[in-house]
Structure 1
């Protein structure tokens, strides 16, 4: 595996591979890698001739500079994990390489989709634009055949799918199932910040499962499913931000449990913002849409 720091170096390394007709799989990350990330790399290795992963903690996605400073970083361990999954090129640029002096352009998603993500607090003001901008830059730099996201990162892949349609991005968008720890908590780089609150955070996947049971039974209503989730949340220690059941295509609040849906729970545990989501059985059985 080769670690590259500059855009020119990465493009040069990919040029000959692209000329040979190799397919390129890309896994964008902010580092602090875990099994969720490595599952994406493994799938990219299985599906593509060349695998590129990126590690870039994007300052534009942090509304609080302190959050950016606290974000866990361990490039040496990240590189070891990436190499073990067969990554060919690890792109780990400094901030100045991505945002040079005079950088003045931003990409964002507007309209109903952005409004829904904001209203449900799945994406806060400023975060969506920061995420879309870095993804467009990375896709332009790597020019992958397929880009891989984890299901839990719903604001990312939903916005990127819309962006790919609107801007005619040729890459295929692949969304893989969430990888969970033994206590059911979805793997996340933020989990290391939970400390002694880790056990309390496990009520989120239990709440998600309770809501999912109601949704998949088809016997209740969206409100009943949300109430079941709230009953499982440890409100003494968990600050609930939202419990939403959304139509997977429109991201509007579901009105009928027969609709393919996403159940999303956002909460703070010990001050750490956590997100857990799952697709209903109807959503999983529906044909997956990709863009290419």
Structure 2
């Protein structure tokens, strides 16, 4: 397994493999890998000849009061997991490689980025779309893999790739959960014991919502109020948002029909967690 900080080495490696007629899969991450990331790597390995992993904590997607400096990092452990999963190359760029002095260029997707997490974190998606565009330009994969936990991110990036005519297929993979239902996240390590116990309410509230829709409920207001009530039964939960949106526009809808995203973001202490369900009715 190759581990490199060099853009030139990544491009040389990929070009060589493509000349051999091999397909390239790509999993971009911020590291501190867990089973969710491993599931993306497994999917890439299954569908491609070559799998490339990037590990980079991207500063431009963090707001001024967010957890950039404290975001968990463990490069040695991450590389060990990558090797166990059969990754061919790990790209570990530094800030000066990706954002050299006097950097001025950003990518922005209109409309889809000012709702849900974009409303709470107004500069977040500009950072995400910019870094993923840069990584796509460097790696030039055939396929790229993302987790459904960050559903808005996937829909934003898929729109970006379509609009900019990127010859890359983006794939969304299922959320991987702990045994008690909490979605796997690098930020789960921030939770204290009581916060961790109460955080399972996110999955429970979404399960209840899905059951109500299956039973025939179509009012977004009714479903949202039910989710909020369930989450608010936990005294440490502080709701950021509970919304039901159209997956094409990321705009709230009154009636649940076609393909919708039920998305929630809740803080426990200083830790902000997200979860969701995608339904087709």
Distance 2:16 2:235 in 1: 57
Match of 2:203 in 1: 205
Give a deviation string over 1:24-53, Cα, whole Å, max 9, x none.
000000001000000000000000010000
- Give the superposition deviation at 1:120: 5.4
Q: 2:128 aligns with which of 118, 127, 131?
A: 131
Q: Match for residue 152 of structure 2?
A: 155
Q: Return closer, same or farther for 1:65/1:118 CA change in 2, 3 Å cut-off.
A: closer
Find the counterpart in structure 2 of residue 165 from structure 1: 162
SS of residue in 1 equivalent to 2:262: strand
Contact map agreement 1:211 1:229 (CA 8 A) in 2: yes
2:102 aligned with 1:105: no
2:82 maps to what in 1? 82
Instruction: String of CA shifts for 1:41-85, please: whole Å, max 9, x gaps.
Output: 000000001000000000111113661110000001101111111
Q: Report deviation, 1:221.
A: 1.5
Q: Equivalents in 1 of 2:118, 2:171: separation in Å?
A: 26
Q: Give how far 1:263 is off.
A: 0.7
CA distance in structure 2 between the aligned counterparts of 1:107 and 1:181, rounded to whole angstroms: 34
Report the alpha carbon displacement of residue 260 of structure 1 after superposing the two structures with TM.
1.7
Q: Which residue of 1 aligns with 2:70?
A: 70
Residues of 1 paired with 2:257 and 2:124: CA distance? 32
Q: Aligned-residue CA RMSD in angstroms?
A: 1.5
For residues 119 and 103 of structure 1, the distance between their equivalents in structure 2, rounded to whole angstroms, comes to 23
Q: Point out where structure 1 has 5 or more consecutive residues left out of the alignment.
A: 283-292
SS of the residue 1:96 aligns to: helix
Q: 1:194 to 1:118 in 2, by over 3 A?
A: closer
- Residue 184 of structure 1 corresponds to 181
Report the equivalent of 2:244.
245
1:28 match: secondary structure: strand
For structure 2, the residue ranges without an aligned partner over 5 or more in a row are: none
Q: Which moved more, 1:61-70 or 1:169-178?
A: 61-70
Check the 8 A contact 1:216/1:280 in 2, yes or no: no
What is residue 4 of structure 1 aligned with on the other side?
4
Give the whole-Å Cα distance in 1 for the aligned partners of 2:50 and 2:33.
Answer: 20
Matched residues in 2 for 1:129 and 1:103: separation? Answer: 14
Shift of 1:281: 4.7
In structure 2, the residue matched to 1:268 is 267
Q: In 2, Cα distance between the equivalents of 1:87 and 1:239?
A: 39
Match of 2:143 in 1: 146
For 1:153, what is the secondary structure of its paired residue? helix
Asked if 2 retains the 8 angstrom alpha-carbon contact of 1:215 and 1:222, the reply is: no
Aligned to 2:212: 214
> Normalised by the size of structure 1, how large is the TM-score?
0.91
Matched residue count: 279
Query: Retained in 1: the 8 A contact 2:31–2:56?
Result: yes
Displacement, 1:220?
Answer: 4.4
Distance (whole Å) between structure 2 residues aligned to residue 81 and residue 15 of structure 1? 25
